Amino acid sequence: MSRIGKKAVPIPGGVTAAIDGGQLSVKGPKGTLAMPLSDLITYEVGEGSISVQPANATREARAFWGMQRTLVQNLITGVTEGFTKVLEITGVGYRANSQGKTLKLQLGYSHDVDFAVPEGIEIKTPDNTTIEISGIDKQKVGQVAAEIRRWRKPEPYKGKGIKYRGEYIFRKEGKKK
């Protein structure tokens, strides 16, 4: 039994949810999101909540149950509050600058890295070493953050690179004489 799946997802005021054509669409103040529905799960949109139940007693249906409930919760959170990931850059000469729909990164390569910002994502650089990625789709925000981080992952000796805010970099001791 899924502890998460048992709980119904509350729908706050100003948000509408509808099931049509094999998709759950949620509309709120920040925009509209849709998700394809799984055949293994039954979805019910009631007054003020969405409930998710397994369609049958198979192991696969029970495995999907909690995840599908969390995906529905992410849709509702996205259209009401949105999601944000913050990246921090550490290293001498490493910096980022947001210019319209392009993020310009200087990461110690012989050239600047130009990252094209996808549709539905907003990137801000409050200072040279901080990147704030925000949007309504949690998966897309996380994917963009991972793609930016992939250009220069933090290394364990000096800690140089791009890391998530709050991420701990396990440090190693250097060579000894």
- Are residues 119 and 63 located together in one domain of the fold? no
Measuring CA to CA, which residue among 46, 51, 11, 18 is closest to residue 33? Answer: 18
Question: Partners of 134 in the beta sheet?
Answer: 84, 122
Q: CATH number of the domain at 92, please.
A: 3.90.930.12
- Are residues 154 and 130 located together in one domain of the fold? yes
Report how many domains make up the chain: 2
**pLDDT of the chain, 177 residues: tens digit per residue:** 678 888 899 999 899 999 998 899 999 999 999 999 989 999 999 889 999 999 998 999 988 899 999 999 999 999 999 999 999 999 999 999 999 899 999 999 999 999 999 999 999 999 999 999 999 999 999 999 999 999 999 999 999 999 999 999 999 998 888
Residue 171 lies in a domain: no
- Are residues 73 and 13 located together in one domain of the fold? yes
Contacts of 24 (CB under 8 A, 6+ apart): 17, 18, 34, 35, 37, 43, 45, 50, 72, 75
- Are residues 49 and 20 located together in one domain of the fold? yes
- Are residues 95 and 63 located together in one domain of the fold? no
Place of tokens 């990137």: 123
- Are residues 153 and 123 located together in one domain of the fold? yes
Contacts of 166 (CB under 8 A, 6+ apart): none
